[in-house]
Structure 1
């Protein structure tokens, strides 16, 4: 089995498209509750493939040759899964609650490659 990192992507544009901020509190709370339930169901259905459940992510700092700075990106969370192929890993996220209920943009899936050996 190969290991894959899946990152949840969310942008302000997705929030606007979903009109998430315009929803009244009761409607938004109902969507959040149904989204959490659906996410947990996704986790249960895919438990055998999940290596690390991951978590939501907070604010970002960038460390570079120029120093450390605060930045903003569209990565909102992650999970690590096992699958036979890249295609199989991606299929785990079809119709995921991140973008079918919550106002997320997408889930990006990439293989975790082995470190080169000397």
Structure 2
């Protein structure tokens, strides 16, 4: 099995989404996420969490991160296509402008 890092991209931060959501909508959203987690089964290694404000660090300084990463997860699958299939019907994609990025985690030689 290969490991994959998943980034949830959204036009609105996770903090803003949670602040604007009613308790009922938040409960329905969590229900949809838990149903997806059940479908993903053993492919889901770590459901991850929403991400708050971040900083971008460069050789010349730091600034507020503005890349739209709203959360992360870790999954495992035989290959990238199988990892991608885990996200069919994912509730994150119901948000307008939302995307999911899946990256294979490569082993470092000698480690």
Pairwise TM-score range, normalised by the shorter structure = 0.7 to 0.9
1:112 aligns with 2:105: yes
Take 2:97 and 2:45, find their aligned partners in 1: how far apart are those partners?
22
Q: Max radius of gyration: which structure?
A: 1
Q: Which residue of 1 aligns with 2:67?
A: 73
Helix, strand or coil at the partner of 2:48: strand
* In 2, Cα distance between equivalents of 1:103 and 1:47: 26
The alpha carbon displacement at 1:54 in A equals 0.9
- Contact 1:8 1:104 (8 Å CA) reproduced: no
Count of matched residue positions in the alignment of Structure 1 and Structure 2: 105
- Gaps in structure 1 of 5+ consecutive residues: 13-19
| RMSD of equivalent CA atoms | 2.3
Secondary structure of the residue aligned to 2:46 is strand
TM-score (norm 1): 0.77
Question: What residue ranges of structure 2 are gaps of 5+ in the alignment?
Answer: none
Shift of 1:31: 3.8
